[in-house]
Amino acid sequence: MNVVTLGCSKNLVDSEVLMKQLEGSYRIVHDSNDPSDVMVINTCGFIGDAKEESVDMILSAVEAKKEGLLKKVIVTGCLSQRYAAELKEEITEVDGFFGVNDLPEVLKSLSVDYKHELLGERLVTTPSHYAYLKISEGCDRSCSFCAIPLIRGKHVSKSIEEIVKEAEFLAANGVKELLLIAQDLTYYGLDLYRERKIAELVERIAAVEGIEWIRLHYAYPAGFPEDLIAVIKNNPKVCNYLDIPLQHISTRILKSMKRGLDGAKTRELVLKLRKELPGLALRSTFIVGYPGETEEEFQQLLDFVQEVRFDRLGVFQYSPEEDTAAFALEDDVPGEVKQDRENRLMDLQQSISFELNEQKVGKTFKVLVDRQEGDYFVGRTEFDSPDVDNEVLIESGNLQIGSFYTVQIIRADAYDLFGKVIS
């Protein structure tokens, strides 16, 4: 059986949970090109491009089934959660369409019983020394451009006990780095404990033996919990790293986006993080081409990025999503202008990233080695998350994948560093 995961790390965790339940009943491969009898496609339904990719994957699987290369095609995840009725009508060759909370039903369609005793266990698909840890599902926010609450539903925190049990399972299986993920990380606990518990949760995970790095992704700026700043500052296992999507800096646009804070408050929070957490690697994400975005408002964003000098940055072009609040607004920024703004923002970021990387030359860092690639071993510092951030390329004879080394940086380019092992 081939389980294919599209979309984000939260979807990947769902696939890993599914694969653990299937283990023993099927020979499982993940994202493989090898022929297999059954394909389960865990789809993404977030924005236009992602939806297209998911539909293409389904259609090619159906084609393979018609050619007798596949016996069964099962579709799950966000796209089929959102468009099950349309998909069922249009792609009748698929054996089953399931939503994001239908694990037992997916298993039943594969003649496998749900095993409650495997709660908190997964078949980890990332390199065995790091894993994503999803602490909640869904989102209570109403950002105007975002369909996730429509797909994943309301915010549901897992209990601290359940999450710690999962962290212990992962640590016992060799995981050293945990990447905490959610739709809205800093909202953790408000539903279950009636108060923000992210700081306490991180401390509890840090106490799990074997875990050496904890990385925080998808923090939300409004209502940012102060006590989390103290945990990042004082707990040596928590990477001096924070991923906090800000989306824009213009107050008019942030208001229209229903982000719950204006430009001044956004700036205030970022400067506070910079002041209280020296050396913090700050990752953020911005949307360009939101309805009505003027050249002046975009210039405001460029100036903000220039001022803050984010260590890591992602940019999305606005894409209208039906049933979201922004869908009613005219998508009036032309495609070529969106593309131009994305290019200008990423060009600025490239020069900032290069300058910041140059400042690392000569310094030494703790590096976790992820893989070997040609003549290099490739790793990351605590300031780099897998797949999205910088890497450290080490020309060395023999390093252990999954081990930490002290590395001196000898050269830098815009998005990568080159180093040699000191110890």
Stretch that binds ligand SF4, among 89-97, 144-152, 309-317, 329-337 (CB under 6 A): 144-152
74 - beta bridge partners? 40, 96
What is the helix (H) or strand (E) element at residue 281, kind and residue range? strand 281-288
Residue 246 binds ligand SF4, judged by CB under 6 A:
no
Q: Which of 133, 139, 190, 409 binds ligand SF4 (CB under 6 A)?
A: 139
Distance CA 175, CA 180 (A): 13
- C-alpha dist (Å) from residue 394 to 261, 328, 358, 384: 42, 51, 16, 15
Return the SS3 of 110: coil
Distance CA 57, CA 51 (A): 10
> By the 8 A CB rule, do 13 and 30 touch?
no
Specify the residue, 187 or 383, whose C-beta has the smaller distance to ligand SF4. Answer: 187
Specify the residue, 149 or 263, whose C-beta has the smaller distance to ligand SF4. Answer: 149
Q: Which of 148, 175, 270, 392 binds ligand SF4 (CB under 6 A)?
A: 148
Residue 411 binds ligand SF4, judged by CB under 6 A:
no
Stretch that binds ligand SF4, among 10-18, 72-80, 141-149, 330-338 (CB under 6 A): 141-149
Ramachandran category for residue 407: left, alpha or beta (phi over 0 → left; psi -120 to 50 → alpha): beta
Q: Which of 28, 44, 146, 151 binds ligand SF4 (CB under 6 A)?
A: 146
Residue 141 binds ligand SF4, judged by CB under 6 A:
yes
Q: Which amino acid is at 303?
A: D
Q: Which of 7, 77, 120, 149 binds ligand SF4 (CB under 6 A)?
A: 149
Rounded least distance, CB 27 to ligand SF4, Å: 35
Q: How wide is the angle at C-alpha 286 spanned by C-alphas 276 and 124, nearest 5°?
A: 80
Return the SS3 of 410: strand
Q: Starting at the edge strand that comes first in sequence, how are the strands of the sheet with 281-288 ordered?
A: 130-134, 177-181, 213-216, 238-243, 281-288, 312-317
Specify the residue, 143 or 254, whose C-beta has the smaller distance to ligand SF4. Answer: 143
Q: Which of 184, 212, 297, 382 binds ligand SF4 (CB under 6 A)?
A: 184
Residue 206 binds ligand SF4, judged by CB under 6 A:
no
Number of other CB atoms surrounding residue 116 within 10 Å:
7
Specify the residue, 146 or 367, whose C-beta has the smaller distance to ligand SF4. Answer: 146
Specify the residue, 41 or 143, whose C-beta has the smaller distance to ligand SF4. Answer: 143
Rounded least distance, CB 157 to ligand SF4, Å: 14
Q: Which residues bind ligand SF4 (CB under 6 A)?
A: 139, 141, 143, 146, 148-149, 183-184, 220
